[in-house]
Amino acid sequence: MSELRFDGRVAVITGAGHGLGRSHALSLAERGAKVVVNDLGGALDGTGASTGPAADVVELINKNGGEAVANTDNVATPEGAKAIVRTAIDAFGRLDVVVNNAGILRDKSFGKMSVEEFDQVLAVHVRGSFLVSHAAFPYLKEQGYGRIVNTSSPAGLFGNFGQANYSTAKMGLVGLTKTLGIEGARAGIKANAIAPIAWTRMTEALLPAEFEAKFTAERVSTLVTFLAHEACEASGEVFSVGAGRIARVFVAEGPGWRQDDHTVEDIRDNWQAIMAEQPYLTPTTLGQQATASMKAML
């Protein structure tokens, strides 16, 4: 089988100075993509800034015979996002792939979380992914081709103590991915999301030490690289990925319980049927979900 190459393609990877983004950038560059390595270079909580991490990854890519340029703009501002996309156009003349990976953590239990801690996490993950994709969209649409990979998290899909801000942001990215998948379809733009687990500075204090060798960033980047490739036909999907395992995560609706004129007590008494999971539906658009549930309702 032929190798999946990115010759002639240009990719922007946000937050590519460390961890997963760095690994995605190396993987895409190794397969011939010209890469914009974006990273603000701040701490895990988003404070501070440095040009070092992005520059180091660019140096490594160039040393390996690839082509890359650094960008240190903030994904969370419209000007920053536009500048990131502009870097790709100025340096390489086009843009094909956007990997929205930049992220920060401000973990706190719900009662102790400040409004600022909530807003700043949403700003980087949700606003940042929206802004960079939004700045790239006209270029992708114009050329009738594009690949967008967003970075969700199991914490968002399933919830996690101390991460109300992060979980909200990461589930928000599922909605963005699904709608981008629908809106991009006519222009050949596919958008998908990953929910990874990997040993990085974000997780090293949380994961058991023996995970380091197995949960490598490279074992997430293979999927990101595939989703960024022309060969990927999927869109609007979410994939759980880590340590060599990849699984589709889907939003499903159960068969439901129906009784036209029901009381509050009827709901209590039929709770098991309301909670039933089988047989479930996995609609991929609101239209599909509405058609199916209307059928059950009318």
| Shortest Å distance, C-beta 122 to ligand NAD | 12
**What DSSP character marks residue 112?**
G
Q: Is 166 a catalytic residue?
A: yes
| Shortest Å distance, C-beta 11 to ligand NAD | 15
| Binding region for ligand NAD (CB under 6 A) out of 1-9, 181-189, 200-208, 261-269 | 200-208
Instruction: Please give the C-alpha separations between residue 156 and each of 88, 171, 207, in angstroms, as whole numbers.
Output: 30, 5, 18
Tell me how many degrees the CA angle 26-31-34 measures, rounded to the nearest 5: 70
Q: Considering the rule CB under 6 A, would residue 106 count as an interface residue with ligand NAD?
A: no
Q: Tell me: cis bond preceding 279? Omega within 30 of 0 counts.
A: yes
Alpha-carbon distance of 134 to 59, in angstroms, equals 28
Cβ neighbourhood burial of 34 (10 Å; 0-12, 13-18, 19+): buried
Q: How many residues does the chain have?
A: 298
Site for ligand NAD in 266-285 (CB under 6 A): none
Site for ligand NAD in 62-81 (CB under 6 A): 74-76
Site for ligand NAD in 143-182 (CB under 6 A): 151, 153
| Binding region for ligand NAD (CB under 6 A) out of 5-13, 37-45, 56-64, 265-273 | 37-45
Binding residue for ligand NAD (CB under 6 A) from 6, 9, 11, 21?
21
Catalytic residue among 139, 145, 166, 280: 166
| Shortest Å distance, C-beta 286 to ligand NAD | 26
> Which residue do the tokens 């973990």 mark?
107
Report the amino acid identity of residue 201.
Answer: R
If you write DSSP's letter for every residue of 269-280 in order, what string do you get? Answer: HTHHHHH--SS-
| Shortest Å distance, C-beta 177 to ligand NAD | 13
- Residues of this chain that bind ligand NAD (CB under 6 A): 14-15, 17-21, 38-42, 44, 46, 53, 74-76, 101-104, 124, 128, 151, 153, 196-198, 200-203
